[in-house]
Amino acid sequence: MSFLMTVTSRTMQDEELNAPSSGAGWESQFSEVISRDDSASTCETASVPMEGSSDEPAIHQDMMERWFHQVFSKAKGERFEDGMESGFSRQLEAAIRQYSGQAICEIDHLIGSPECDAEVASEALRWMGLLSHQGTHKYRLWLLKKNLSSASPRIRDGALLALSFLDDPAAIDCVREAVKKESHAELKLDMERVLQQLEDTRRCQST
């Protein structure tokens, strides 16, 4: 990757935040995130009680929203380097492992908000591709495909790089369409390379 993959000059600010606690007995996750239409822009969440704890409250949605907003805001003070963990990436990974689809939904909402810093959003998306967590694979894939059509070149670049890490041929059609629409020459070239990579992966999987 060559487009916008330079180190951003940011400094660490404040200590890392801890993921919000949901109580001992509930796990929040998507009941339905991916519709048959990949252009869907909304996420629906549900709280699923775990065995033996039917009366404990799930984490409040507003608490989750405030926590993620704070994490994204503080990330503006971090220095991001390609492929290197940061305080921000570690917090995202911890939240995704704990809250699964609900965390992806909150990340989607933040990335789509006009006040979200494009470099922070791009970093979040890159780690969606690097994270090894099978339980959220389809949700992360959905989020990355969606952001290939972002108005921000940096966000599109982050989504593309993450798709190259994820290496899932299910993204082929979306990347092919993105190539047709891309106006930045260097990013378009990167998209063509990722498209070739995904097609090669599909051929290998079919043999």
Mean pLDDT along residues 138-151: 95
Specify the pairing of strand 26-32 against strand 44-49: antiparallel
Mean pLDDT along residues 102-112: 92
Res 7: pLDDT:
27
Q: Are 96 and 137 in contact (CB under 8 A)?
A: no
Nearest residue to 4 via CA among 172, 146, 189: 189
CA distance 156 to 177: 13
Q: At residue 142, what is the residue type?
A: W
Nearest residue to 105 via CA among 81, 60, 136: 136
Supply angle C-alpha 48, 143, 149, rounded to 5.
Answer: 155
Res 85: pLDDT:
77
More confident residue, 108 or 34: 108
Mean pLDDT along residues 69-89: 81
Spell out a b/e string for 173-197, using b for 16 or more CB atoms within 10 Å of the CB, else e.
ebbeebbeebeeeebbebbeebbeb
Per-residue model confidence as pLDDT tens digits over 51-63: 333 333 445 677 8
Is 90 exceeded by the pLDDT of residue 13? no
Is 90 exceeded by the pLDDT of residue 146? yes
More confident residue, 40 or 204: 204
CA distance 62 to 69: 10
pLDDT grade for 147, boundaries at 50, 70 and 90: very high
More confident residue, 88 or 176: 176
